[in-house]
Homo-oligomer: A and B are copies of this chain.
Amino acid sequence: MAQDAMARPRGATLRDVATVAGVSVSTASKALNGRAHVHPDTRRRVMDAAERLSFTPNVLAQNLTSGQSGTVGLITNDLEGRFSIPILMGAENAFGAGKMSVFLCDARGDAIRERYHLQALLSRRVDGIIVVGSRTDVRPSLGHEIPVPVVYVYAPSDDPEDLSLLPDNVGAGQQAVDHLLSIGRRTIAHIAGDPTYAAAQDRVRGIQHAMAAAQLPLVAPTPFGNWSEAWGRAATRQLLATHPEVDGLICGSDQIARGALDALRDLGRDVPRDVAVVGFDNWEILATGSAPPLTSVDMNFEALGRMAAERVFAALDGERQAGIVTQPCRLVVRGSTIDGA
């Protein structure tokens, strides 16, 4: 778009800088890279020339030598970018902004497209691949023929030789219970999400475990459904009809929790006075928009992304690692459990 862009389509090169500064290319290289054995005056001139030409080193060419590209590929299967974005941010931040760039591509849950993107990424010589799934269930490994480290996030690989990073959904369930107990609730029920999701089962396990530890029963058997607000509304109405004494309600997702809040209001129950409600995911747009705003357990995706990037580069440094690593979740308290919070 710039005028000079047409004349010099790809920007100034080191050669241009060297010419302008009246030195050789290698001297210019050394000067700009702050390496020794360069006279201060020479360095000045080179720096000035670079400045004047608004020279940008070609990282690709730089890395042609080193073999690394400072680039990571992120293959997601999470259409809405709900997980991918925070994970990407985390990865980007792992080494300071700009030091590493992330290719993002969406495979839409399609294995063919996934391999296609994998190929495209490898051909661009990414230093590593981060694969993000849309559910915490195991997924097929991309295999071990890949010449760069691969880290699976959220959806673990079915191959124990691979490294998979997961949020601790069991712990998340425990945190939800512990919070309700800490604010004095004793008559607690859980409305779970889609039973085919490992995340749903894990959260249930964590909840049951924490309740058992407190020597309390769940006031009703846990109903499973899906992750929708509609399910939250229906299940809550059902639950309150049979167990009106409930004073603490854990919902399998923020969407379910939103449905629960709706139903509770329709039933004339005050939240949090009559019933305290906790969700999972801490999906901002849902959790902060409701009345009252929703207490929720955050999956810490950003930390997962940061860790994923770190592991990729650790693997490049030869550090072999495998198995499933879980990352603790984080409870975010809002008005649905503590008035005015």
Contact = CB atoms under 8 A, between A and B. Distances in A.
Interface of A: 1-6, 8-12, 54, 56-61, 64, 67, 69-71, 80-81, 84-85, 88-89, 92, 97-99, 101-106, 113, 116-117, 119-125, 144-150, 161-163, 228-230, 233, 255, 258-259, 262, 265-266, 283-286, 289-291, 315-316, 318, 320, 322
Contact of A10 (B80, B147, B284, B291): B147
Given A69-B60, A106-B89, A285-B286, A113 B97 contact: yes
Contacts of A57: 123
Contacts of A99: 120
A147 to B, nearest CB: 4
A103 B56 CA distance: 17
A101 B113 contact: no
B124 A71 contact: yes
A310 B277 CA distance: 47
A149 B117 contact: no
A285 B150 CA distance: 31
A230 B291 contact: yes
Contacts of A322: 1
Nearest to A81: B85
Nearest to A322: B1
A244 to B, nearest CB: 22
Nearest to A2: B144
Given A71-B124, A101-B103, 18 more contacts: A2-B145, A11-B147, A54-B145, A59-B120, A92-B106, A97-B116, A98-B120, A101-B124, A102-B105, A103-B103, A104-B104, A229-B290, A229-B291, A230-B289, A230-B291, A255-B285, A259-B289, A265-B266
A116 B98 contact: yes
Copies of this chain: 2
Given A124-B101, A148-B5, A285 B10 contact: no
Contact of A104 (B88, B123, B286, B315): B88
B233 A291 contact: yes
Nearest to A8: B147
Please name the 4 residue pairs, one residue from A and one from B, whose CB atoms are nearest each other, closest first. Answer: A11-B147, A81-B85, A229-B289, A98-B120
A9 B60 contact: no
A314 to B, nearest CB: 11
Nearest to A318: B6
A101 B120 contact: yes
A54 B119 CA distance: 10
Contacts of A120: 59, 97-99, 101
A68 to B, nearest CB: 8
Contact of A147 (B4, B147, B283): B4
9 contacts: A5-B149, A8-B147, A10-B125, A10-B147, A57-B123, A97-B117, A228-B289, A229-B289, A259-B289
Contacts of A124: 59-60, 69-71, 101
B105 A103 contact: no
A291 B255 CA distance: 13
Contacts of A117: 97-98
A101 B89 CA distance: 18
Contacts of A289: 228-230, 255, 258-259
